[in-house]
Structure 1
């Protein structure tokens, strides 16, 4: 008989109770998870509130730091320098929402651009032109975590610039003299009265406005561009008329000059390697000069000189070396001179750079002469005949002006610029770079490279060597220099008001034209010093055997060059006097001083 499986099954009420209990357990688990989610959301919300509060505080703190840095930069160029800037920054911060426990931290320095890089230099480079402010505030969290410090840093700069012109003759607005000078440069008749010239001398044109009128977008573009004297005069007339600063006399004078120029060749507005331009701007950031101004008269005279392009006169006939007593060797002389150089304009920032050179300088000379002396030297012992080529630069009535300092104040009358003027009587040098001094408009003239004056073949036993005879020294590289200079520079201070009595200031060495005598004799004396002449082979100093073989020629050259150089003295001095060189006088015309608005840079 088959077995029967009989199981006990719960009743319906019991099953319902079990289902209810399981459902309750599931609901309690879901509620716990939901509660955890809501608690987490609440915590995140509270954290967001704290983070948002920190963000708002940091933003307000950055604004306070920005405003404090700008306030400090605006006053760093005033009396007191960094101390004044620090007070300004620390007073500005709380006025603009700063709520830190202590005053903001202030560091003064110099903001500059080297190549494409910018830097904030706190090593003491002058002049100070930037302020860095660090603002710190303690922020308490409302809900999560302890309090924390929030920090903001801001850097602002303000560059003060000045523009001036240097000439080495007294600035006299004689109508006939200026008419003749400008007319000769333009190749046309210019006839203006003294009143018109005086009006042009006091008419200042802002460089930024000039750039806009000439159709360029920035100062860098302006300095890279070219224009004609006619277009420059036309642009100046438009700018001055638009600004309401042009009198009828100025407008008429500029129209006369424009007509006289009649187009003409183009000239470079900015300096380039080996070629001078209208503006020598001593600023790493050229755009900072946009608010500087130049005198319409000074700019037009320099522009006419550059466009003329042939201010150098041939002086070979006047300086014939065959007429010098004591010269028996065949000698030829090529000579060029720039006569009565017009004012040199400089625009830039004051002080010295990291190399110890002034950032903004101008150099001028009434007479510049480049002499290329060639001597035919006969064979000496075993040495062949050789041609000696001596590159010589001479200038008379030279001057250099350096922008040493600017100080801005609440008014133009109280603002000042300080210019150091070095006035010389005469200067001469022999060097490989002697000719480049003819276009030097920024620094005292020097020959910084030795000159190779002859190349010859030296026989040595079974071989021969090609050797160079050089003047100067290899280390440090230099030529031979002689200078008649005022013993001490003169410091001139100008206020920021254009058109008043201190705009033109002169310094005089009290030197006479005859004082330039013996200048070239000084060079001859230096050539007699040991190692003034040296021999090189392949760019390196020759070995003792080569130097010994060439020594007779070196001795002969010193003996021949001494009377030649001394004899040129007797010809140059009367020539300088005949050309009207007023030796030893430098005149600085302070054109403008600009106290720039501060701007954030970091």
Structure 2
């Protein structure tokens, strides 16, 4: 059978196959080059679009966000600002009219992932911008697989400025007489005698600690606290809380203030338990953003003592130098509502309530001074002169924060305040817990040891002020802390009040006195007694009432607000993109 013969390809045929293969490789290479060029171009277009969205979100937040000086975020302003920013950067669309292109809301964290959720103007602290653009799918092969493609870029910018403040009256400068009064007031709150010198008290008044330092100090009492919320939720004894403050002060290098707190801590052994969040309120969406917020150490300590004594009536062993040979007074205090310090963001919440409020204590204070004098008419008068002060709660709230910018190099903080209506009277409380139980003062008049008459003494003045916005400017040239007063400063208010008391004294003798042979009448005795009481009321005000109220952070008819901390994103990083 004949065998088949294989035919070998000719060189010419082989050259044709190689040429076809080369053309195929060249075509494929051109396709990959085109794809690479188009992919790179689309990536560049997406990057440019993302930059547009990023800048638009930041600009919208700066002009409409919580750092813009408003009480809430304005979505219309945000849309306008976003579009203006996008147009400056070459955006061809219209963010202000595109549906859901600009949204306001909040950023939450779930499972370590941050997510944007739309929210109302009152609670919003972030802006989301979605920018879109239709671009040619391929510059070379556009007709082969579609003409255009829609690109989308999403950016979320968040900024939550915080401020810390408290409402009270302030012992700016402490001398030895102030220190003596402070020993009596704090000793009454502690239920034990204390003796701290003026220098140590001054150091305590001037000292601040951060929340982060307080968290670290909690470890010193064996309290496992890892964040701000854990600190606020902690229930501790007053002694342990003061130990935390002392540890924080020591870590900050303030040995003098720490020693003063340690002296108070030893005397606080008998006091009960408090919840730290009841005296220090942090209202930020993420409390840990307040880690670096500073709080005044004296305010923390006295607020803790008042919180522990809420609802109790206390005796304060206060001594003072008074005229007419009077060397001692009795001071009683009933705390109805303890003060609260606040750190948080500005504006109102969804219910219309202020996000970050603070307030002073509400209390009744009584001062008793035994008086025995001989009048020019030789009538002897003895009485227990009593001053009763009903101190209503003063409220304050963080209205707005306007962060510094290129055109405005300083931060501006607005705090609103409403002083409580206070009453100062010559009289005493039958029940310290009941302000309506006030009774008049009665003086006994004798002549040569024989009873002559009883004289009822009464006077009362109300003090109050209208609500007011206080504006603080914070910069390197005007650093914190800063204090401002709404209404009348305490010393002036008390001076005016005691003058009004003296001018409105009502004296009524029973039985009436009419001894013409001795030249004694009601009018004469009452006039002489009123003349004697006037300087004594002034002395009680200056030597006792003023320093006692000031040491408790209370005021009459006014309010002092101290802005002690301001945290903007300039100190934590600028308005930040979170997506």
Q: Identify the TM-score tier after normalising by the shorter chain.
A: 0.5 to 0.7
CA separation in 2, counterparts of 1:583 and 1:115? 48
- Cα distance change of structure 1 residues 233 and 282 upon mapping to structure 2, 3 Å threshold: same
Q: Determine if contact 2:468/2:486 at 8 Å carries over to the other structure.
A: no
Superposed displacement of residue 223, structure 1: 1.6
Q: Determine if contact 1:161/1:349 at 8 Å carries over to the other structure.
A: yes
CA separation in 2, counterparts of 1:249 and 1:303? 20
Question: Aligned pair 1:188/2:167, yes or no?
Answer: no
CA separation in 1, counterparts of 2:134 and 2:265? 66
2:335 is aligned to: 339
1:530 is aligned to: none
- Cα distance change of structure 1 residues 211 and 365 upon mapping to structure 2, 3 Å threshold: closer
Question: Aligned pair 1:226/2:235, yes or no?
Answer: yes
Equivalenced residues, count: 413
Superposed displacement of residue 228, structure 1: 4.1
Instruction: Report 1:178-577 matches (<5 A).
Output: 178-215=182-219, 216-243=225-252, 246=254, 248-262=255-269, 265-270=272-277, 277-306=278-307, 308-309=308-309, 311-313=311-313, 338-339=334-335, 343-367=339-363, 396-409=391-404, 414-425=410-421, 488-496=466-474, 502-508=482-488
- Cα distance change of structure 1 residues 263 and 408 upon mapping to structure 2, 3 Å threshold: farther
CA separation in 1, counterparts of 2:396 and 2:249? 28
CA separation in 1, counterparts of 2:125 and 2:116? 12
1:587 is aligned to: 560
CA separation in 2, counterparts of 1:409 and 1:227? 39
- Cα distance change of structure 1 residues 501 and 35 upon mapping to structure 2, 3 Å threshold: closer
Which range moves more in the overlay, 287-296 or 496-505?
Answer: 496-505
Superposed displacement of residue 203, structure 1: 1.8
What SS does the corresponding residue of 1:291 show, helix, strand or coil?
coil
In structure 2, list runs of 5 or more residues that go unmatched.
Answer: 220-224, 316-332, 366-389, 424-432, 434-461, 501-544
Q: Determine if contact 1:413/1:496 at 8 Å carries over to the other structure.
A: no
In structure 1, list runs of 5 or more residues that go unmatched.
Answer: 1-8, 271-276, 316-336, 370-394, 428-437, 439-483, 516-576
Superposed displacement of residue 301, structure 1: 0.9
1:600 is aligned to: 577
Superposed displacement of residue 154, structure 1: 0.9
CA separation in 2, counterparts of 1:188 and 1:115? 49
Superposed displacement of residue 267, structure 1: 2.6
CA separation in 1, counterparts of 2:204 and 2:314? 33
Q: Determine if contact 1:398/1:584 at 8 Å carries over to the other structure.
A: no
What SS does the corresponding residue of 1:214 show, helix, strand or coil?
helix
CA separation in 2, counterparts of 1:30 and 1:148? 38
- Cα distance change of structure 1 residues 501 and 79 upon mapping to structure 2, 3 Å threshold: closer
- Cα distance change of structure 1 residues 356 and 287 upon mapping to structure 2, 3 Å threshold: same
Superposed displacement of residue 199, structure 1: 2.8
CA RMSD of aligned residues (A): 5.3
1:176 is aligned to: 180
- Cα distance change of structure 1 residues 298 and 51 upon mapping to structure 2, 3 Å threshold: same
Q: Determine if contact 1:170/1:586 at 8 Å carries over to the other structure.
A: no
CA separation in 1, counterparts of 2:483 and 2:305? 23
Q: Determine if contact 1:282/1:361 at 8 Å carries over to the other structure.
A: no
- Cα distance change of structure 1 residues 73 and 210 upon mapping to structure 2, 3 Å threshold: farther
2:42 is aligned to: 54
- Cα distance change of structure 1 residues 293 and 195 upon mapping to structure 2, 3 Å threshold: same
